[in-house]
Structure 1
C-alpha cells in the first residue's frame, strides 16, 4: 500500500506519537522511511540571535539532536531511515520534502491549540493538506513503550 513514508518528527509528545504510529504502519507495509525535522524560524529565535550571538546555532544543534534520536530509534526497529533537518515553515517544508522523496504518505503529530494560537498561526493543517501530493495521517494515538513494543512484535 504505502512504500515511501515521511515522518515529521520533533521531541514533543505529538512528534513521538507520529514516529511510533508511522513506524508501525511502515513495518506493516514494508515501507521505506524518511524522517523530517523542521526548525521553525520564529521571530523569537531571530530576536534571540540579535541579542545573543549563536542562539540560532544552539537551537539548530538541539533540533539536530532530536532528529538523530529519531533516526537511532528507527534503526533499532530495523529501518534504514533517511533523515533531514530543514529550516522554515513546517507545512511548506513537509510538502516540499514529501515531493522531493516521492512519498505516498506523510505522518504528522497533532497538538490542540487554543483560539488565540489558531488565530495567530493560521490553518496549518489545511495548508499541509492543500500542499501535499500524497496521503496524510495525523497521528493522535498516544501509546506507552510497552504497548508500542507489543504492537511491533505482533507485526514480526
Structure 2
C-alpha cells in the first residue's frame, strides 16, 4: 500500500524539520504529492476584549509572516531533494486544521513531528499529535 497525497504539519521547529525529511522521503518513495501546511493559532489571551483590534491584527500578520518564512525554508529543502510541494498557511487549532485540510484535499497520510510535552502541560494544552492519532480519518505518522 502506498500513499498518494501526504500532508505535513510544519512550524519550523526541530521536530517538524525531522518530519519534513521523512515526508520528503516518503513522497519520493511513493511518487506522491506533498502538501506542507503551517497553522497559526488564534489569539489566546483571556483579556481579548481589552486588547485593541489593531494589536490582534498585528499579532496575526506577524504570525502569518513567520509561518510563511518557515514554509519557504521547507519548500526549498523539498525542492533540493527533487520534490515540488504545495504550501499553505491556515489559521485555527493545529490538529483540527490539519485534519480538515487532509479531508478536503484527499490526503491519505498526515505527518507531524513529536514535541514531547508531557505531564501537566500536556493535560492543559492537549497534544496535536495525540488528537491527530485519535480523530484523523487518515493514517498519521509522528516523527521523533
2:17 corresponds to 1:3: no
Match of 1:86 in 2: 90
Q: Is the 8 A contact 1:92 1:131 kept in 2?
A: no
Structure 1 unaligned residues grouped into runs of 5+: 141-156
2:91 corresponds to 1:59: no
Match of 1:77 in 2: 81
**Deviation (angstroms), 1:62:** 0.8
Distance 1:123 1:33, change over 3 A: closer
Residues 123-142 of structure 1 mapped to structure 2, 5 A cutoff: 123-140=127-144
Q: Distance in 1 between matches of 2:84 and 2:13?
A: 23
**Deviation (angstroms), 1:123:** 4.6
Q: Distance in 1 between matches of 2:110 and 2:59?
A: 30
Q: Distance in 2 between matches of 1:113 and 1:92?
A: 19
Aligned residues: 138
Match of 1:150 in 2: none
Question: Once structures 1 and 2 are overlaid, which stretch shifts more, 92-101 or 129-138?
Answer: 129-138
Match of 1:26 in 2: 27
**Deviation (angstroms), 1:78:** 1.4
Question: Once structures 1 and 2 are overlaid, which stretch shifts more, 127-136 or 31-40?
Answer: 127-136
Question: Once structures 1 and 2 are overlaid, which stretch shifts more, 119-128 or 108-117?
Answer: 119-128
Structure 2 unaligned residues grouped into runs of 5+: none
2:103 corresponds to 1:99: yes
- Look up the SS of the partner of 1:86 in the other structure: strand
Q: Distance in 1 between matches of 2:9 and 2:128?
A: 14
**Aligned-pair RMSD on alpha carbons?**
2.0
Residues 144-155 of structure 1 mapped to structure 2, 5 A cutoff: none
